[in-house]
Structure 1
Amino acid sequence: MSDTTPRAEDIDPEDTKLITLSRSSRARNGAAEGAAVRDETGRTYTATTVTLPALELSALQAAVAAAVSSGAATLEAAVVVTENSELSPTDLAVVRDMKTGHVLLAAPDGTPTLSRRD
């Protein structure tokens, strides 16, 4: 995958929707991260960070789990709204497992900060 710093005006409108969904989920739950993914059929799934005594998932892991449990085989795109500047090694592995077309990171205000493509 190659990394670039995207310009907001270059973001596909469908990916802008994923940013909005991620931000909304994060704000609604007061979570550290929000994520949204779009599967190969165009369906979207959102999630936030899960922190329980017996289970911890990043927002991306939770969104991918929702997609997979609904039958998704691959992902066209994924967005993570976070204060982090990069994906964790585990999130990168999840992205690879799902043969994700591209991943965007966005700051909590929705500004795109990183784009990763195969």
Structure 2
Amino acid sequence: MTLDPEDSKIITLARSARARNGSREGAAVRDETGRTYSATNVALDALTLSAVQVAAAMAISSGARSLEAAALVTEGEGPSEADAAVVGELGGKLLVAGPDGRLRG
């Protein structure tokens, strides 16, 4: 499967965020204007958020009204229902890749 260069970029950003923080997951989103936001999951006693949720929240709090795409890089099985719902509500597609950057399913 050949990826759009902009989709490849957000997968790379998600991989970089994950590697930089040594996190379980990394995510990146692209909003309707082409701005990108990358994040990792948050796992505190008082707050637990997926990487997709954090990246989407960053975009929305910066004024984004919708997402063109989101990328999740994880060793796990894939996106949670909550991740899919967030991206779906914002109108974007969700790409899921392993730590090596290869797309899944």
Q: TM-score scaled by structure 2?
A: 0.96
Q: CA RMSD in A?
A: 0.9
Within-5 A mapping of 1:24-43? 24-43=16-35
- Structure 1's consecutive aligned runs of 4 or more residues displaced over 4 angstroms after TM superposition are none
Correspondence 1:86 to 2:78 = yes
2: CA distance, partners of 1:46 / 1:52: 19
Q: Is the 8 A contact 2:24 2:41 kept in 1?
A: yes
SS in 1 for 2:100: coil
Higher strand share: 1
Q: Secondary structure at the match of 1:85?
A: coil
Give the aligned partner of residue 67 of structure 1: 59
Shift in Å at residue 86 of structure 1?
2.7
Uncovered stretches (5+) of structure 2, i.e. residues with no partner: none
Identity between Structure 1 and Structure 2 (%): 59
| Letter in structure 1 aligned against 2:13 | L
Distance in 2 between the 1:96 and 1:18 partners? 17
- In the TM superposition, residue 60 of structure 1 has moved relative to its aligned partner by 0.2
Aligned AA (1:96):
G
Higher relative contact order (CA 8 A, sep 6+): 1
SS in 2 for 1:17: helix
Question: 2:13 corresponds to which residue?
Answer: 21
Partner secondary structure for residue 112 of structure 1: coil
Q: Which runs of 5+ in 1 are unaligned?
A: 1-6
